[in-house]
Amino acid sequence: MRRKGRGGGGMGNLIPITILPLLFAIPFLPSSAALSSENEAHHGSGDSNYKRQVIELEGGPDDLAWVVQLSDLHFSVHHPERARDFREIVGPTLSFIKPSLVLLTGDLTDGKSKDLLIMKQDEEEWIEYQKVMQDIVRRSGLNKSTFYDVRGNHDNFGVPLIGGPFDFFSNYSINGQLQRGGKVNSITIQTTKRKVLFVGFESTMSSGLRGPTNLFGHPTDELLEEINSELSQWDSQPGQPVTKVSFGHFPLSFSAASKSGKTLKDIFIMNSLAAYLCGHLHTKFGKNLKRHHQSSHHATYSNELMQWNGYRTPLENSSSCSNVATRIDEFWEWEMGDWRKSRAMRILAIDRGHISFMDINFKSGAKKTIILPTFPLDSRFTSTSSSSQNYKCGTYDPSSYGFIRVLVFSSSPVVSIVAKIYDSSPGNLILVLETQMTKLAGSRGDLYVAPWNIEAFEDPSPERFLLQIEATDIRGRITTTELRPFSVNGIPARVPWTWKEFLVMGCQWDSLYYPILWSFYCLALSILLIPKVLLSFSRRQYTYRSFKAKKSFKNGVSWIFTELYNIPMAWSSMMCYLFYLVLCPWFYGQAFTEGQERVYMTYRGWVSGFNNLGKLEFLGSPDVMVVILLHLFFVVLPAIVTIMALAAESGKYHDYLLSRSSKKKDDYDGQNKDSSSATNGADGTSEIVPHRRWLRKLLLVVSLAIIWKHFKNCVALMKAYEMNPIIHFPVYGLAVPLLLAYTIWNTGKNSISISTK
């Protein structure tokens, strides 16, 4: 195997990085790729550089490559078991997988305090990461240049300048140590019949804010141009087909558009990407964090904001063989989970242009045998332009489609591989095929094949037939794969998202932020302003008594708002607070690492200064939505509703007291002294039958819950950005509690004054 360099193109990044003229040659490589030479070229504008690397595979299996992905390691000084398990499991596992590449897609360190509230870089965690990776390289037998790590948002917490003193990624990461300059790197794996192009990129903020307002990827126009240049590097050289795969940290649902409005999806669609590999979300949101993307040329506005399901839907013209040569604008996005808690690893294989993958869970310990079927493809994750179209149109190679193909990785010699196919149509599983598989000769890995009659498994259901592989090693240990549905017809299986998976994968939060924000303001201002305007033109007095006499929605709403407007200080304070949140800074905090100047945050982001045109420059939009929207919907809106409810309850109780007073007066005038004494009590005092006011007590509990929620948010922000609530966010911190306290006091005072008259 040989690895040789090829010139690459790029645009300017943030800082110049010196590239070594030649990587040190390693004489012996037991991995799937070896170095023959590494040449570098500098292209494009700007003062930073990146490399294009070509890996030539030698030895069998033919036209087959595989890589490993790991993500969200979150090495932490508070959780040493993460690094310990990584060292003990990953190194030995890589030694028998022997991948061509190992991709580490961000959040390499945690950057959080023990209480999870302070988020900034910790050099001790980076030193630990460097030591662990050195040990992984040694124990795996792979060359260090096989590993590619990219920066995640946790690796960027509180880093004001890339290359500055707090940018530990540049010093301790593998990319930094190998002087891989720039934010984009591309690697081409050259097999005997095709090129497999991997393009990795970093889309973190240019100036890394502390968390929690550092949550999104921010690809710039320059970065998108670099990615486009790398993905299209082989387009002008016809000949061998190219399978394109990109990898980064942020899912597209958490990637913002550039200033010109371009997105990563636009670039991926334009370059016929096959798959995008990412991390960031973790498996706590679900295990089906997969999303199929299609061209948005004819997409509606709602489709640009959200996608209801992640599975592939068949295209109308995909069934016509006349369109077999037509380019289909689609790609898959596969989020892989995390090492942090799930101990997850992914193996991705490209077998004769067909992409398959397997996510492995190491929570129960290391695996001795790992099995990855590469054909037939899993019907849950096939593409329109994959094998199904070739099969339907008869353009496939029988030598490729006539075999079940499986990659087997094992720490011990394997003595038997059996392929089983089950039919699930009767309602239970019936074994319809069981065949022994044979190993193909090859020096890089173990590929097992078994002939089959592919036409026998044609069926309109993509989930009828299920494939399972069983492996037995020399020690008698048996390993079986999950039951995988497949469809030789190319019909996609539909696996719907759960509601949590939809929220994190299906919603385009960059596009949703401002619609949600202004929808809240439309709702809040409509509640507070429109009824007041309408009631000002009405001569009718709305009270609880009038509502009780003639119950209707109009009378009920009018009565509630009348009671609210009877507390003018509460109403005007709510209006002022809502406008303050839009027009003024929310708080003034330490958004970067210690020693930096404080900056203030608005709903548009953190204000970092003025640009060349004299306009304010904002950082962290839409990242600030995690503070803005949570405050508006879980503190402000409940407070408004609670204040209205307190006012309405007070009005109801006011009418109750008046009615009781009137009844008492009538009784007193119409009855004799003895009857009056019986009504008023044994001691002759004027006592009214008490009203328990359970609703008010409930509203007091709700008010305390809102204040407690707000208090916890303020404490978290105080620690996160080193703020004093009195100095740095008095209005944000005190307005809601004071407003609720004033309303409780006012509604209680009025009731007491009525009851004592």
Extents of the domains making up the chain: 2-316+328-505, 508-586+623-664+692-755
* Average pLDDT of the residues in 743-755: 73
Dig out the tokens for 503 from the structure: 């929220």
Residue type, 746: N
Q: List, for residues 214-261, the tens digit of each pLDDT value.
A: 999 999 999 999 999 999 999 988 788 999 999 999 999 999 999 999
| 725 or 541, which is more confident | 725
DSSP code for 271? T
Under 8 Å CB-to-CB from 572, ≥6 apart: which residues? none
pLDDT of residue 26: 29
Q: Facing residues of 260 across strands?
A: none
Dig out the tokens for 226 from the structure: 């670099």
Of the candidates 354, 376, 350, the one whose C-alpha atom is nearest the C-alpha of residue 464 is 376
In Å, what is the CA distance from 168 to each residue of 47, 72, 165, 280? 21, 17, 7, 20
User: Can you tell me whether residue 605 is helix, strand or coil?
Assistant: strand
The pLDDT > 70 percentage for the chain reads: 83
Residue type, 308: W
pLDDT of residue 653: 85
Is 70 exceeded by the pLDDT of residue 676?
Answer: no
pLDDT of residue 295: 82
What are the φ/ψ torsions at residue 408 (nearest 5 degrees)? -125, 125
Residue type, 672: N
- Characterise 239 by phi-psi region: left (phi > 0), alpha (psi -120 to 50), beta (else): left
**Helix orientation angle between 730-755 and 694-721, rounded to the nearest 10 degrees:** 160
- Characterise 629 by phi-psi region: left (phi > 0), alpha (psi -120 to 50), beta (else): alpha
Confidence bin at 664 (pLDDT 50/70/90)? low
233 and 615 in contact (C-beta within 8 Å)? Answer: no
pLDDT of residue 40: 36
Is 70 exceeded by the pLDDT of residue 50?
Answer: no
Cα gap 757→752, rounded to integer Å:
9
Is 90 exceeded by the pLDDT of residue 1?
Answer: no
pLDDT of residue 611: 74
Q: Which of 46-60, 141-155, 230-244, 587-601 has the highest mean pLDDT?
A: 141-155
The whole-chain average pLDDT of the chain stands at: 85
Cα gap 228→226, rounded to integer Å:
5
pLDDT of residue 42: 34
pLDDT of residue 691: 55
Dig out the tokens for 428 from the structure: 């239970």
Cα gap 57→70, rounded to integer Å:
22
Residue 612, Cα to own-chain centre: how many angstroms? 33
What are the φ/ψ torsions at residue 121 (nearest 5 degrees)? -70, 145
Confidence bin at 580 (pLDDT 50/70/90)? very high
* Average pLDDT of the residues in 476-481: 95
Residue count (the chain) = 757
Dig out the tokens for 220 from the structure: 């710039």
Is 80 exceeded by the pLDDT of residue 56?
Answer: yes
Cα gap 446→453, rounded to integer Å:
23
User: Can you tell me whether residue 216 is helix, strand or coil?
Assistant: coil
* Average pLDDT of the residues in 364-385: 91
What are the φ/ψ torsions at residue 146 (nearest 5 degrees)? -70, -20
pLDDT of residue 132: 97
Weakest-pLDDT range from 21-35, 131-145, 441-455: 21-35
pLDDT of residue 198: 98
Dig out the tokens for 123 from the structure: 């050099």
Q: List, for residues 702-713, the tens digit of each pLDDT value.
A: 999 999 999 999
* Average pLDDT of the residues in 115-136: 96
- What are the respective helix, strand and coil percentages of the chain, to the nearest 5? 35, 20, 40
Is 60 exceeded by the pLDDT of residue 462?
Answer: yes
**Do strands 195-201 and 344-351 pair parallel, antiparallel, or not at all (unpaired)?**
unpaired
pLDDT of residue 500: 95
Residue 403, Cα to own-chain centre: how many angstroms? 38
CA trace torsion 620, 507, 109, 82 (10° rounding): 160
In Å, what is the CA distance from 258 to each residue of 132, 248, 267, 510, 621? 36, 16, 12, 11, 11
The vertex-380 CA angle with 375 and 383, nearest 5°, equals: 70
pLDDT of residue 8: 38
pLDDT of residue 23: 28
Of the candidates 240, 239, 284, the one whose C-alpha atom is nearest the C-alpha of residue 74 is 284
CA trace torsion 706, 712, 713, 715 (10° rounding): 140
